[in-house]
Amino acid sequence: MGEVVAVIPARGGSKGVPRKNLRRVGGLPLVARAIVAAQEASGVDRVVVSTDDAEIAGVAEEWGARAVPRPAELAGDEASSESALIHVCDVLASEGVDVGVVVLLQATSPFIVPSLLDEAIALVAEGVFDTVLSAVSTYGFLWERDASGAASAVNHDSARRPRRQDRSPQLLETGAFYAMDAAGFRAARHRFFGRVGVVEVPERTAIEIDSPEQLELAGAVAPLVRDDGGIDVDAVVTDFDGVHTDDTAIVDADGREQVRVSRSDGMGVDLLRRAGIPVLILSTERNRVVAARARKLRVDVRQGLDDKASALRAWTAERGVALSRIAYLGNDVNDLDCLEAVGWPVAVRGAHPLVTAAARVVLDRPGGAGAVRELAELVLRARRDESRSGLGSREAERKTT
């Protein structure tokens, strides 16, 4: 059997939500969320993003997927997802890649469950079905209107309203993923052919984004479906006030300031350093206490900054670390640019609402009371999990090439 290839069609154009595939939900661009879901599915051998957009291609490659340029004639409003998949299959075939199962992933479905994606792939790979789609059970009563506006029942007898327990649920297609036998798909040139199977997904994950309202809803739902596992990164960057401190200061009669910090946070930073994970403190604050604390912790510091995001990018470039492999911990609106630049935006408990909304993870502990230690433990947990599984982040990236 050939490879299992996950293809994510991601055009640059979108009318309902401009630049939709790059919009963030739960701290990640939508196209990156789809890539991560595919990478975390053990049955996927290769992840490809089909796009006509240079920025989307850059994000795809940053997150470890291959970007295949989509011809203009396949990138218009009328172009089908099938045409993008066929083009990718043709490109891979020309390179000698044998595709056994092709998986269509929709970036507009932000909550793809990797284990359920694996279930769909297995059903196709084992020959149980030719194509498998994601769906959610529904007991909804559907109606349609005619040209005059009069409504009539579609899936029920409106004169007889059975109780829920007396009805069988129907299946509503979510659009999140479709796994298909590659040869059958290329022959049919459509995602539905032969024996069609269904993998049911949790209702809270069944959101498809086609409007600003759905994008807002997905952002509100994101905290409910976040992974409780570790944070897999190569470096940690933090704000100072409100993160290493409780965001208060004691000022004496001469104007000198003192802040309160957590010894537990200091131990967390030390554990990160011992694990070979570099740490940087970024701060707009000019007080010498910031540099003094950084010296105590033996970590890099940049302070007195008007543009923290530029300093972040310069530091990561010096270190040779991809922004997608950075965890940034912040608490207030001057952290938003940094949070939106990295792969793991993290907020302390009690952070500004805009920061919480931008975060991929919201910690249980507030600034100055163990938040940095909590982040350190999550980062180190991911390292331990990788060590036990034998599949580290770099190996996971190679899996997609």
- What residue ranges define each of the domains in the chain, with the CATH number in brackets? 3-137+172-224 (3.90.550.10), 235-398 (3.40.50.1000)
Q: Report the C-alpha gap between 371 and 261 in whole angstroms.
A: 11
pLDDT score for 393: 46
- Those residues of the chain that have pLDDT short of 70 are 226-228, 386-401
Q: Which residues contact 298 (CB under 8 A, 6 or more apart)?
A: 273
pLDDT score for 394: 43
pLDDT score for 347: 96
pLDDT score for 228: 65
Phi-psi region of 173 (alpha: psi -120 to 50; beta: other; left: phi over 0): beta
pLDDT score for 399: 45
pLDDT score for 188: 95
pLDDT score for 400: 43
Q: What is the DSSP string of 66-108?
A: EEEEPPGGGSSTT--HHHHHHHHHHHHHHTT--EEEEEEE-TT
Q: Dig out the tokens for 339 from the structure.
A: 């949070």
pLDDT score for 362: 92
Query: For strand 131-138 and strand 196-200, is the pairing parallel, antiparallel, or unpaired?
Result: parallel
pLDDT score for 227: 65
Q: Report the C-alpha gap between 151 and 145 in whole angstroms.
A: 4
pLDDT score for 398: 40
